[in-house]
Structure 1
Amino acid sequence: MRGYISYFIKGMAIGIANAIPGVSGGTIAFVLGIYEKLTYAISILPNALIKLKWDDIKESLKILIPVALGAVISIVLFLKLINYTFTYYPIPTRIFFVGLILGSFPFITKTVEEFNFKVFTAFFIGAFIMAVFVYFDINKPIGETTYSGGFSIIYGIKLFLCGIAAAVAMVIPGISGSLLLLILGEYENISYFISSFLDTFNFQLLMPLVFLGLGIIIGIFTISKLVTILIKKYKSVLFGFVLGIIIVSFLSLWPNISSLSISMLASTVISMCAGFLAAIAMEKI
């Protein structure tokens, strides 16, 4: 039971991260110590279902169900709150995730079993790729929805492809799936679909989410299989690459605090400490 609760709580953290542009759910999964287990559980499930390997199905669902429930519930419960804090208190919100990553650094470094030339090369490649991504980051403010009220199959296909792209970004640490949706021009719309559907239960708003969800599911299962293969064959090199991504991601999250008022600076420090303590607590769950 303790394991299920642990996966559920960590799933909530992943869900919250995926809802915030600029914060990577894959990074949060990585720093909380469930990235490898999660990608493996996702990658073996399709084959296990096709071949009816009940032991593999049970082992996979034991991880995926509590993590997925935690992620979905956190998004449903906190989406409006997340959008509000990210819009009106972006610095404390970002600093919380900075603290979360800082508190997880001891664990992150342990994931690389040996440091050699290949690992260092992978580290710098990962850091460079993430630096390029950060450089071209077009974080526009979260504003009013651009949804016009009409839905077509063409728009559904676009949402399906956006779902695949976002899923790939969600799985790869350091790249934010919600930021990618923001870049593709659909973050505000999707936030609107979810929030409005929960408020009104208007099933016309459910159709766009179905197309998006199908894309996310296909994208997650496809990229998780690839990640699992790479972990088996090149674990230290892959995690060195991921470590480079996370280091630059951590630097990109650090906001400009030079012009903050005393009260806002105090809340920012408290927020970072809360993130730091949350990482330590979740590693012990």
Structure 2
Amino acid sequence: MQYLQWIIKGLAMGAADVVPGVSGGTLAFILGVYERLLAAISSCNLLALKLLSRLQLAAFWRHIDGTFLLCLFGGVLVSIFSLAGVLTYMLEYRPIPLWALFCALILTALPPLLRSVRWSLWRLLLCGVGIAFALIIGMLTPRQLEPQSWMFFVAGAIAICAMILPGISGSFILLMSGMYAPVLAAVTGLQLNVLALFLLGCIVGLLSFSRLLNWLLRHYHDASLALLIGVVLGAFYRIWPWQLDQQLYLPWQYAAKAGDADSLMALLFALGGALIMLALLHMEKWLKPAAPSNPVADVKE
């Protein structure tokens, strides 16, 4: 059952990674696998290479937490390849319900996130820094370009760093740099040479940036969590459903300016998002096998 949980959480992360403005790292963070993910990625080091070169495969697999990574990233890849077309359609034709879904996902997870930190004035300030950082990233303007092959490697390295940072969307970084459409076209068109370059960039960026985050969480756990929670909160600026020209509106204000606020569909998607997140947050308890009864205790009774 533990493996199934990791796969499902990977599916949720992959769905978030496809949408510009939503981070798979955010889902990993609020679903409780973020620190283990960073630790597992950081363990892909010289010792891992040494174990692999000596063909000590079982020790290598345990060292990198291989089963966990396989299940999680397997779910991510399945989700990306299966949902890319659906989410692209939603982004083009029904963006407001899609953003409402992701807003509801994050809002539902905020209470347990906030309870995970022992708050102090210093940590509140760090949370404010995280909010400001996410707002600055969210205000950046996307651009268009004609990509060269090497750009896919660089885009992968930069996007994966954003992807594992809660609140900062790797997809949005791609959009801002003009690489989102080319990368999505490569995924849907199965352009393997382009995807190989992008994946190589992801691996290089992931192995380097994850070590920094893992070190911060090990040495400054609550301070790092406070900063990351701030980044998640600041990301709401980018994913708020009703906005025009980077101006945020309430649904009725948006309807007065743009005509249709798609409010009913947004409400349904938001309710669906809240239910999905509640299911994900309680999945471990639901899937946990029941403790076997004690026959000795039963006899005594």
Task: Quote the offset at 1:207 in angstroms.
Answer: 1.1
Consecutive unaligned residues of structure 1, counting only runs of 5 or more, are 149-154, 198-204
CA RMSD in angstroms comes to 2.1
Which secondary structure state, in structure 2, belongs to the residue aligned with residue 45 of structure 1?
coil
Task: Quote the offset at 1:51 in angstroms.
Answer: 3.5
Partner of 2:158: 165
Task: Quote the offset at 1:37 in angstroms.
Answer: 1.2
Give the partner amino acid of 1:267. M
Which stretch of structure 1 is more off in the superposition, 15-24 or 255-264?
A: 255-264
Matched, 1:132 2:115: no
Task: Map 1:3-152 to 2 at 5 A.
Answer: 3-52=2-51, 54-55=58-59, 57-58=61-62, 60-112=65-117, 114-136=118-140, 138-139=141-142
C-alpha separation in 2, matches of 1:77 and 1:48:
35
Task: Quote the offset at 1:123 in angstroms.
Answer: 0.9
* 248 and 3 in structure 1: CA distance in 2 versus 1, 3 angstrom threshold: same
Task: Quote the offset at 1:222 in angstroms.
Answer: 1.1
Give the partner amino acid of 2:158. A
| Structure with higher RCO (Cα < 8 A, 6+ apart) | 1
Matched, 1:156 2:142: no
Deviations 1:124-161 (A, max 9, x none): 1111111111222x257xxxx9769xxxxxx2322111
Give the partner amino acid of 1:278. I
Partner of 2:208: 222
Task: Quote the offset at 1:263 in angstroms.
Answer: 9.2
Give the partner amino acid of 2:28. A
Task: Quote the offset at 1:237 in angstroms.
Answer: 0.6
C-alpha separation in 2, matches of 1:159 and 1:220:
15
Partner of 2:170: 177
Task: Map 1:207-246 to 2 at 5 A.
Answer: 207-246=193-232
Which secondary structure state, in structure 1, belongs to the residue aligned with residue 19 of structure 2?
coil
Task: Quote the offset at 1:118 in angstroms.
Answer: 2.3
C-alpha separation in 2, matches of 1:20 and 1:48:
36
Give the partner amino acid of 1:67. L
C-alpha separation in 1, matches of 2:4 and 2:146:
37
Percent of aligned positions that are identical: 28
Which secondary structure state, in structure 2, belongs to the residue aligned with residue 33 of structure 1?
coil
C-alpha separation in 1, matches of 2:73 and 2:228:
23
Task: Map 1:255-266 to 2 at 5 A.
Answer: 255-256=241-242, 257-258=251-252, 259-260=254-255, 264-266=262-264
* 122 and 215 in structure 1: CA distance in 2 versus 1, 3 angstrom threshold: same
On the 8 A contact 1:45/1:57 being kept in 2, the answer is no
C-alpha separation in 2, matches of 1:72 and 1:147:
26
Give the partner amino acid of 1:95. A
C-alpha separation in 1, matches of 2:180 and 2:260:
33
Give the partner amino acid of 2:173. L
Give the partner amino acid of 2:266. T
Matched, 1:276 2:262: no
Task: Quote the offset at 1:48 in angstroms.
Answer: 4.4
- What TM-score results when the alignment is normalised by the length of structure 2? 0.82
Give the partner amino acid of 1:69. G
Partner of 2:239: 253
* 262 and 129 in structure 1: CA distance in 2 versus 1, 3 angstrom threshold: closer
- Bigger radius of gyration, 1 or 2? 2
C-alpha separation in 2, matches of 1:86 and 1:55:
44
On the 8 A contact 1:45/1:56 being kept in 2, the answer is no
Task: Quote the offset at 1:251 in angstroms.
Answer: 4.0
Consecutive unaligned residues of structure 2, counting only runs of 5 or more, are 243-250, 284-301
Task: Quote the offset at 1:110 in angstroms.
Answer: 2.6
Deviations 1:29-59 (A, max 9, x none): 1111211111111111334422428456326
* 252 and 187 in structure 1: CA distance in 2 versus 1, 3 angstrom threshold: closer
Task: Quote the offset at 1:250 in angstroms.
Answer: 2.4
Give the partner amino acid of 2:216. L
- What TM-score results when the alignment is normalised by the length of structure 1? 0.87
